[in-house]
Structure 1
């Protein structure tokens, strides 16, 4: 995938975190695969069932958004074993988000959905950041303590 036209999240944003896995996002099946990989890793490292469900749901929403609104993207999973933190980065080369604050508002949708995915993902993650450029794609960083 070509480099985005905005300051996407990269190693400097992730500090000491180690890359665990990378995935291409093209189909809804890819979103399921990413969700399952995150849930499996969290369970293996002692996260509560509630935290697994919450973060896996956030992951699923963001991956699905990249597929539906941008035609696909890439998804990476990172871990910081010392800080016991799992982070994910999803990025795409879609149309970008014109008004991030509006997009995070429950009920707002640029498609045919309920308009709860992006804001819901923000609430379900312990850390949530978006970088975007209209016409240049979107990058989302989310983290959770294990």
Structure 2
């Protein structure tokens, strides 16, 4: 058993509830990689992960396991639930010499004989979380994780985004991204004046938000400004970020974008609280009429109809988190 993976038997705290126990595999020959990846896929689908995502996750596991067998002098792996019970984790360790340069290993198409470089970038893209836990002269240990989607009865979010009157092109961009099966990051951006009409700003936002998904929103915002500054006038880039997780809500606003909390009246007379982020083509101070509680899209529509400035591109994105008591 390689360093970084314990051979000791331990009780799985979630086994009684889910029926899934930690299962360990020796990685000696190609058939072992197939057995490992098939088991991980079966457990992912049994948990409720979508078939396509479970298949991609299994392919990533197979790639890393094969590299451990072929280039890493063999190794071992284990598969279990993630700590929050919202996903499947596979931890794969080898007995090889380690990866010489992780930065190079994550480069598309890079392969270095005798290391885990082959397929590392592809495996990284195929699963939601990918971590190098150990990389030294005694071997490499990698963790891959795939999670469920966030249930809509826990966090509901949706958006209304339209161009200015008499315009066909909307320069506002919005992004929603789930992680760990219990966290949602949403973003609204107004990119103002273009420096390069052919550059895909949406791709920049998505790539940066993925690579910095575990950073604070302030750090994410700084990196977004740095990357967008190469293509757009930074003084005309406005965006709002909102992350909601079991640990609370975090918000970060740059420029003239907006964020605010509102209340909607339920049929029972109680008030439900939800959060809004919006582009600078929206004036949230104009929301004065009562909001009727509904799904996120209807809430966004009610806010949009009261606050959108006709002469501007306008985007309203609503996020509502349900407490345990209100489900």
Q: Same fold (TM over 0.5)?
A: yes
Partner of 2:121: 119
| 3-state secondary structure, aligned to 1:106 | coil
Contact 2:93 2:140 in 1 (8 A): yes
Aligned match of 2:44 in 38, 42, 45?
42
CA shift, 1:62, in A, is 0.7
Alignment of 1:28-39 (within 5 A): 28-39=30-41
Structure 1 unaligned regions, length at least 5: 11-15
Superposed CA RMSD: 2.2
Instruction: Please say if 1:98 is aligned against 2:116.
Output: no
CA shift, 1:111, in A, is 3.0
**Structure ranking higher in helix proportion:** 1
Contact 1:27 1:67 in 2 (8 A): yes
1:33 and 1:109 map into 2 onto residues whose CA distance is: 24
Q: What do the CA deviations read for 1:98-142 (whole angstroms, capped 9, x no partner)? A: 101101111211139xx7611011111111111201x21000011
Structure 2 unaligned regions, length at least 5: 7-12, 16-20, 149-327
Instruction: Please say if 1:132 is aligned against 2:135.
Output: yes
CA shift, 1:58, in A, is 0.7
| 3-state secondary structure, aligned to 1:76 | strand
Aligned match of 1:79 in 78, 81, 87?
81
1:17 and 1:85 map into 2 onto residues whose CA distance is: 12
Structure index of larger Rg: 2
TM-score, normalised via structure 1 length? 0.82
TM-score, normalised via structure 2 length? 0.38
Aligned length: 134
Deviating above 4 A after TM superposition, structure 1's stretches of 4 or more consecutive aligned residues are 16-19
